[in-house]
Structure 1
Amino acid sequence: MSTVEYVRAQDVPGAIALVAADVAAAYLAGGTTQVDLLLKDGVGEATRLVDIGRLPLAGTEQVGDVLRVRALTTMADLAEDPVVIARLPLVREALLAGASPQLRNMATIGGNLLQRTRCRYFRDRRVTACNKRRPGSGCAAVHGPARMHAILGASENCIALHASDLCVPLVALDAVVHLQGTGGSRTVPLTAFYRVPSQRPDVENVLEHGELVTHVDVPLLPSGMRSAYLKVRDRASYEFALTSAAAALSVEDGTIRTPRLALGGVGTIPWRAREAEDVLRDAPATADTFRAAAEAAVRDPFTVPGTEFKVELAKRTIVRVLKDVSGVPS
């Protein structure tokens, strides 16, 4: 593994300039991803880390019906934010389910959005067939033991899973990411931020080199909407999701209004289930409707030996969370 140089940024423009000028440079915030990749797994590409941990990019602010979350806000701080507790239960539940208390005190929101896959083939540098690390080399996970892998947005080129819990409700809520680079600032809907692997599994998002996530705008749920995040995992303590679902909706006279649904544990990216939302919208709040939505959400999955179980488990997860938020008895 190459020696990694450490530089502390003094301000936002300086940090951006340092990273943009060096193709082998990357940002360092909480370090829970970079430290794993570079120091533990030895698969990271960066040889220079620019520490942005002391820049003024932490904290939250309510702006009308939007919660502005700055990139260096920790998971722990966001989970205890009064606005999140009152208006965004699904976000808080995902934060609390997403890591150990120690990690939540370190991990930042910006870093969570950019965390790399937990695919063991990607993180084992002895594995040569990994299109995400070495484009064109193949995907060992397709032919090897697979369990914690994706079935939606996957193909023979890559089945690496996007492991974030937090991004699942953020995608459901139509959160917007604010970016700053040498060419100025821009905004990207989180639903358009990630790229399905397709022919280029190594290209994971729309970030240009040197661009910095400065904050995320999260729309607040209207009064009367109920929401929840349900995570299915092998053990109750810190563990990644086998399947998960974030849902928000309101029910008026037995009819579903303004449904929002996103899935985790099954997608190569945080998966917005728009086809399921179409099934739910203006439909009766019944178990049959929820099952129909689940069928629409997990249509045409790409499975390999070891991931077939996720198809039915994901559907049951969707039905369960929809029953919870709608008040329909199980």
Structure 2
Amino acid sequence: MMPFTYQRVVDTRAALMAAAVAPTATYISGGTNLLDLMKLGIEQPTHLIDISRLPLDAIEATADGGLRIGAQVRNSSLAADQRIRSDYPVLAQALLSGASAQIRNKASTAGNLLQRTRCYYFYDRNTPCNKRVPGSGCSALNGFNRMHAVLGSSDACIAVHPSDMAVAMLVLDAMVEVMDTGGVTRQIPIGDLHRLPGTTPNIETGLTPGEMITAVILPPPQRGRQLYRKVRDRASYAFALVSVAVVVDVERDTIVRARLALGGVAAKPWRAPEAETHLIGETVSAEVFEGAADIALTNAVGRGGNDFKIPLAKRTIQYALAAASERG
């Protein structure tokens, strides 16, 4: 591990000032991903700013009836909150399907959003990886790519984003609140937080240097039934091969509102607006769900080892839509 300095801060302004002074600094909270990357020499920050004790660990009601989730709220606490379980069950389901109980007890809301890919080649410094070393190549293109992206990828990178929580927050239309080193706050739609790889897969988010996530804001509870379905190799502590988050509102067997997001298939949580449009106004049926699944995967491209993800994603979408459309 490379030498680094460490600083613990207790207020947000001090954290931002520290980041402004040390441009190569990195924020650390739970550290469940960052510390592994540092041990492997993939992340090499010269200065760590410990923000785990910032007063950002509350879940508060907003004026319009939504919720403001502080960046330091632990995944386990968020999943257990009664307001999340009753009004945003898709989020609770996603959180409980991610990682192990021990990791959920440590992982923070902001850290979950900003975790990096679990691509084998990204973690192996002996292989080329454009995300780790820009311009070096992508070993996954012609390598073992079973876990990799079928949507939104490029010839520079086919890695996927591993978060379950982010997929659920995307289907809920969450906003991410961030603050820059000058103390200026802005909100980013969660769908715009992460970037597709294009030719610069090493640039993973739209955050500016030193900018820090302070909260995630959920809109007021949405009508309809919510469901998160995750398909993985084993029942616990495994990343998604494919995951699907849906919100479906049905009146008299007619779909009046639909939201659909996918995980495990792209470099960012993937929304399927065309499939949503296809569903609205249709009578609940297997044929309608199959059509939506086909639309959601229209532009999917397999790379050999991950070809199976395309039909798997379609089947998972159909299952999730059917289950969420059932009458209570």
Same fold (TM over 0.5): yes
Residue 87 of structure 1: aligned partner: 87
Residue 115 of structure 1: aligned partner: 115
Q: Is the 8 A contact 1:174 1:218 kept in 2?
A: yes
Please show how residues 156-175 of structure 1 align to structure 2 within 5 Å. Answer: 156-175=155-174
SS in 2 for 1:324: helix
Residue 201 of structure 1: aligned partner: 201
- Runs of 4+ displaced beyond 3 Å: none
| TM-score, scaled to structure 1 | 0.96
Percent of residue pairs identical? 45
Q: Is the 8 A contact 1:226 1:326 kept in 2?
A: yes
Residue 237 of structure 2: aligned partner: 238
Residue 320 of structure 2: aligned partner: 321
| TM-score, scaled to structure 2 | 0.97
Task: Determine the C-alpha separation between the residues in 1 that align with 2:15 and 2:95.
Answer: 28
1:27-49 CA deviation, whole Å, 9 max, x = no partner? 0001111111102x220131211
Residue 72 of structure 2: aligned partner: 72
1:69-98 CA deviation, whole Å, 9 max, x = no partner? 000000000011111011011000000001
Residue 267 of structure 1: aligned partner: 266
Corresponding letter in the other structure for 2:104: R
Q: Is the 8 A contact 1:20 1:211 kept in 2?
A: no
1:281-303 CA deviation, whole Å, 9 max, x = no partner? 11111110100000010112122
Residue 129 of structure 2: aligned partner: 130
Task: Determine the C-alpha separation between the residues in 2 that align with 1:302 and 1:4.
Answer: 41
Deviation of the 1:318 alpha carbon: 0.2
Task: Determine the C-alpha separation between the residues in 2 that align with 1:18 and 1:95.
Answer: 31
1:229 corresponds to 2:231: no
1:87-113 CA deviation, whole Å, 9 max, x = no partner? 011000000001100001000001001
Task: Determine the C-alpha separation between the residues in 2 that align with 1:220 and 1:170.
Answer: 13
SS in 2 for 1:177: strand
Task: Determine the C-alpha separation between the residues in 1 that align with 2:131 and 2:48.
Answer: 21
Deviation of the 1:256 alpha carbon: 0.5
Q: Which runs of 5+ in 2 are unaligned?
A: none
Corresponding letter in the other structure for 1:152: L
Task: Determine the C-alpha separation between the residues in 2 that align with 1:259 and 1:157.
Answer: 33
Please show how residues 177-326 of structure 1 align to structure 2 within 5 Å. Answer: 177-183=176-182, 184-223=184-223, 225-326=224-325
Task: Determine the C-alpha separation between the residues in 1 that align with 2:281 and 2:266.
Answer: 27
Residue 48 of structure 1: aligned partner: 47
Task: Determine the C-alpha separation between the residues in 2 that align with 1:62 and 1:53.
Answer: 22
1:117-171 CA deviation, whole Å, 9 max, x = no partner? 00111111111x2111111111111011111111111121100110000000101
SS in 1 for 2:122: coil
Corresponding letter in the other structure for 2:208: E
Task: Determine the C-alpha separation between the residues in 1 that align with 2:137 and 2:157.
Answer: 8
Q: Which runs of 5+ in 1 are unaligned?
A: none
1:1-29 CA deviation, whole Å, 9 max, x = no partner? 41122111131111011122222210000
Task: Determine the C-alpha separation between the residues in 2 that align with 1:4 and 1:280.
Answer: 52
Corresponding letter in the other structure for 2:50: D
SS in 1 for 2:121: coil
Task: Determine the C-alpha separation between the residues in 1 that align with 2:94 and 2:301.
Answer: 26
Corresponding letter in the other structure for 1:278: T
Task: Determine the C-alpha separation between the residues in 1 that align with 2:325 and 2:90.
Answer: 14
Residue 147 of structure 2: aligned partner: 148
Corresponding letter in the other structure for 1:319: Q
